[in-house]
Structure 1
Amino acid sequence: WKNYLKSGTGQLFIRSKTKQKLFYSITLPIWPNEVKRIVLANKKNKINENDICLKFVNDQLYGMQHQLKEYEKELNIQATNCEGYSPSVHEIIMEYIEQNINSSFRRKIAHQVELIHYDYHIRALELEYFRQKPNQYQKKLMAEICQSQYEQETSEQEYEFLKKQITYYNLPSQSLTCSNIFNGPLFNSIQNIPLREELIQKCTDVAEQGRSILFNMYLKSAEDQREEYKKKHEVNIKKMDASQHTLNQNEKLSPILIQLINECCKKICERIQFIYKFKSESLFLK
């Protein structure tokens, strides 16, 4: 929520710590879509959007700060009334929380914070593009290119992630024989142990075969979609390239507009890659 506030007040990035020289502003107040969706869902008057978002985020931060103080009070009371509670016991408890709860939670929060940064860059690039006063054709072309880039990169990452999922679920530890799927009343009611084991094995074989067929179907579908979106994006890129040589001034893109589109597409790709990297890491942390 602190990063939501920084984004919405144009303080997400500290210029002195920004190594790369940017050709667009990173001090614009940009409220993340997550905030706007919540705040503006039931608001008919969106004229004071900034004030509404600012109040909402500040209220959330105040509420969490208040809740934290309440938890601290409760912890102190519990610690005082608990016989044998000492600094060493407190340290053991905190270490357990850090290892079993905080590390996973912090990882998720860090992931969300990074997405706020990516979203800020993408929106800032869009605003800089609009600041160049593009015509309707140029606006439409940028929207189409960015959308097709999003679709292409998502389908590419989804395809690669699906392959990782299949690898994971084909591990011996994920075999159906290691699960409790056949440890139910139906099979347990069979008194003849050899017969029961034979039935379980046959069911396991059929299930494994079915799972393999499904995996191949998913992979083929993902591959087809990847190729479809790749071709679609290539068509849009050709439009952009052609715009540099056209005699039609309405369709011509200036170098700065092309640079902004390319940079926006780059950030879109980086964002999607970051999401799927997190997904892949989470998969193997199960």
Structure 2
Amino acid sequence: MKTPYYLLLNDKPFQIILVQTLSSISTKTLNYHHRRYQLQQIALLMHRIKLIPIYLRLWKTYWKSGMGQFNLDSKEQYSYPMNFKIWPEKIQSILSFIQIKEENKQQMYIDFVYDYIDELKQQLTTSQIEYEKMTKNFHGYTLSIEELLEDYLEKNLSSLRMHIEHKIKLIHYDYHIQVIKLIYEQEHPNEYQKKIFKELCQDKYEEEKIEQELRFSKQQMNYYCSFDKSLKNYDGQQSSYNECKEM
């Protein structure tokens, strides 16, 4: 897994986190750089432990859509059935290069998504085991150090978390659109009616997509403004927080 820029040893905010952490531990000059590297590895493992569940949530949403399981955890009541098996375009696109009979596609999607979710779960378990091992072997690792790293990671993962939630909402919305289309087709509309209905659905989807993107952009702006304010504590530089508030 690629190291994110905010966990690179030359990233200034991360450097300050490392200095704050190591200053609370009795560290000899000779092994300072080694301890710094160890802390980076611990932070990377913690990052994976936080990152993987975010993607698990996305892929489980793909699974529920493809298996017609959205109704299992939904408290809302719909006037149409929610057990249609509709695989999101993302999954269909990933596997579009495979030449396979139409009747075998469902099983192909099931196997692919199931295996990917299983792989993510295994990576999560492995990362948790490695994290426990590394923190036990790191002399002086305390709850306060863990909380400091967690806070730093949460700030940097917030944008991605919002982005994934945005994608999940669009998957849900697209699923409803596709279900309505399928039900409509069961009424045997003529070609003109199909054309009009398709255009209406597309317009509605685009409208919802734009609305979701606007919400997402606003959330991102609020996040970056608040994060910029917190960065002032890291580098002591003039913050643009007030400028953000005025936007």
- TM-score computed with the length of structure 2 as normaliser: 0.60
Pair 1:7 & 2:75 matched? no
Q: Which residue of 1 aligns with 2:129?
A: 73
Residue 86 (structure 1) shift: 2.2
Post-superposition CA distance 1:245-275 (Å, at most 9, x none): xxxxxxxxxxxxxxxxxxxx3x552233112
Cα distance in 1 for residues equivalent to 2:157 and 2:199: 41
Alignment of 1:130-209 (within 5 A): 130-147=185-202, 149=203
- For the pair 1:94 / 2:32, whether they are aligned, the reply is no
CA shift, 1:283, in A, is 4.8
Letter of the 1:126 partner, please give it.
K
C-alpha contact (below 8 Å) 1:40/1:46 kept by paired residues: no
Distance 1:276 1:43, change over 3 A: farther
Long gaps (5+) in structure 1: 150-264
- CA apart distance, 1:66: 0.9
In structure 2, relative to structure 1, the CA distance for the partners of 1:55 and 1:12 (3 Å cut) is same
Residue in 2 aligned with 1:282?
220
Give 1:11's aligned amino acid. Answer: Q
Separation in 1, partners of 2:90, 2:124: 23
Q: Does residue 27 in structure 1 map to residue 83 in structure 2?
A: yes
After the TM superposition, which residues 46-65 of structure 1 pair with which residues of structure 2 at under 5 Å, given as runs?
46-65=102-121
SS in 2 for 1:48: helix
Please point out which of 14, 17, 37 is paired with 2:75. 17
Show CA shifts across 1:52-105 (max 9, x none). 11111001101101111121122122112211012332232222222x223222
What are structure 2's unaligned runs of at least 5 residues?
Answer: 1-58, 225-247
Deviations 1:203-240 (A, max 9, x none): xxxxxxxxxxxxxxxxxxxxxxxxxxxxxxxxxxxxxx
For residues 103-114 of structure 1, what are the structure 2 equivalents within 5 Å? 103-114=158-169
Indicate how the Cα distance of structure 1 residues 283 and 94 shifts in structure 2: closer, same or farther if over 3 A, else same: closer
Aligned-pair CA distance for 1:15: 7.3
Distance 1:124 1:268, change over 3 A: farther
- My pick for the range that moved more, 107-116 or 136-145, is 136-145
Query: How many equivalent residue pairs?
Result: 166
Identity across the alignment (%): 34
The 2-side partners of 1:89 and 1:280 are apart by 32
Misfit runs of 4+, over 3 Å: 144-147, 283-286
Of structures 1 and 2, the one with the larger relative CO (CA 8 A, separation 6+) is: 1
Distance verdict in 2 for CA 1:90–1:283, change over 3 Å: closer
